[in-house]
């Protein structure tokens, strides 16, 4: 029987974004404050996912052995290091989160049956790599606060209360929404990036956070005057808003996850088609939606 197991590890390291072939002005324009010498640091958290058959002892692998492999091949070498100098891979390509996940996979793959490497640079930025050449996933996490009321304008108050319960009360209620946007792309072998991180963050800020934050969604966002702003519908709307602008960065939108509360979240996958606008896309039901 196949089973996936996960092992967590961590290390602290510094890095700097700087390409020798670019001038100081060009580096600063491309990488911003990440160019400052001698660099800056992070407390990295690494999750190594492995798959295999259960043995007679109920294990895929002996986790003590796994721990030693990760320590020997990765964390003992990277902990308290300057990443640009420690491995030759980070001299040919910058040690971005996504490139680090790819190189860690390469270092561990001869020793462990990997299915995913997930590397957190900090709680609001992480990368996943699954062995697909230069393809990786990068997730940006952010948040906004908003109020909503779950009620269809086509139904009576009594009918809405029957469907949505307390959420149909006329003055609405609020949430601190947690948003995770995952993009997919090819890692540039020199910059180590699948897309410009600052540009991706600005797209999310401009298209979602700034327009949605501190609003009453039903009243302040025109689309939700007619569409009930459930977590599912908000996630679909965000996907429609982000697909085109993220595509312009050179990446593609892989997933939108909206966490309404610790008990309730919704996910939608994939881009909107090129010939569907944000306004049209909002009204399209999506089979790739999962709610928890």
Task: State the catalytic residues.
Answer: 167, 214, 260
Q: What is the chain written as a DSSP string?
A: -EEEEEEEEEEEEEE----TTS-HHHHHHHHGGGG-SS-EEEEEEEEEEEEEE--TTS-SS-HHHHHHHHIIIIIHHHTTEEHHHHSTHHHHS---HHHHHHHHHHHHTTTS-EEEEEEEEETTEEEEE-S-TTEEEEEEEEEEEEEE----TTS-HHHHHHHHGGGG-TT-EEEEEEEEEEEEEEPPTTT--SS-HHHHHHHHIIIIIHHHTTEEHHHHSGGGGTS---HHHHHHHHHHHHHHHHHTTT-EEEEEEEEEETTEEEEEESPPPTT--HHHHHTS--TT-EE-
Q: Which residues contact 290 (CB under 8 A, 6 or more apart)?
A: 266, 267
Give the distance between the most distant pair of CA atoms in the chain: 67
Burial of 153 (0-12, 13-18, 19+ CB in 10 A): exposed
Beta strands at 114-122 and 135-148: parallel, antiparallel or unpaired: unpaired
């Amino acid at each position: 029987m196949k089973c996936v197991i996960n092992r967590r590890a961590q290390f602290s390291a510094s890095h700097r974004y700087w390409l020798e072939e670019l001038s100081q002005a060009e580096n600063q324009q491309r990488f911003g404050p990440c160019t400052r010498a001698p660099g800056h640091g992070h407390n990295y958290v690494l999750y190594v996912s492995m798959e295999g058959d259960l043995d007679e002892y109920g294990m895929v692998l002996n986790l003590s052995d796994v721990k030693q492999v990760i320590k020997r091949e990765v964390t003992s070498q990277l902990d308290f290091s300057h990443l640009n100098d420690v491995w030759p891979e980070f001299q040919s390509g910058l040690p971005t989160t996504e490139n680090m996940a790819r190189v860690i996979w390469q270092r561990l793959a001869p020793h462990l049956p990997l299915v995913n490497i997930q590397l957190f640079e900090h709680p609001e930025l992480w990368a996943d790599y699954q062995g697909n050449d230069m393809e990786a996933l990068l997730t940006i996490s952010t948040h906004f606060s908003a109020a909503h009321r779950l009620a269809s304008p086509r139904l009576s108050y009594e009918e809405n209360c029957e469907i949505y319960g307390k959420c149909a009360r006329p003055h609405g209620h609020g949430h601190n929404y947690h948003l995770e946007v995952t993009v997919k792309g090819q890692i540039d072998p020199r910059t180590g990036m699948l897309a410009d991180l600052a540009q991706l963050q600005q797209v999310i800020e401009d298209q979602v956070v700034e327009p949605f934050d501190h609003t009453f969604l039903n009243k302040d966002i025109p689309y939700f005057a007619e569409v009930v702003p459930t977590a599912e519908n908000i996630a679909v709307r965000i996907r429609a808003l982000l697909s085109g602008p993220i595509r312009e960065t050179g990446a593609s939108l892989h997933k939108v996850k909206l966490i309404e509360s610790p008990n309730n979240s919704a996910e939608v996958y994939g881009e909107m088609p090129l010939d569907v606008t944000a306004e049209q896309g909002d009204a399209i039901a999506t089979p790739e939606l999962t709610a928890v």
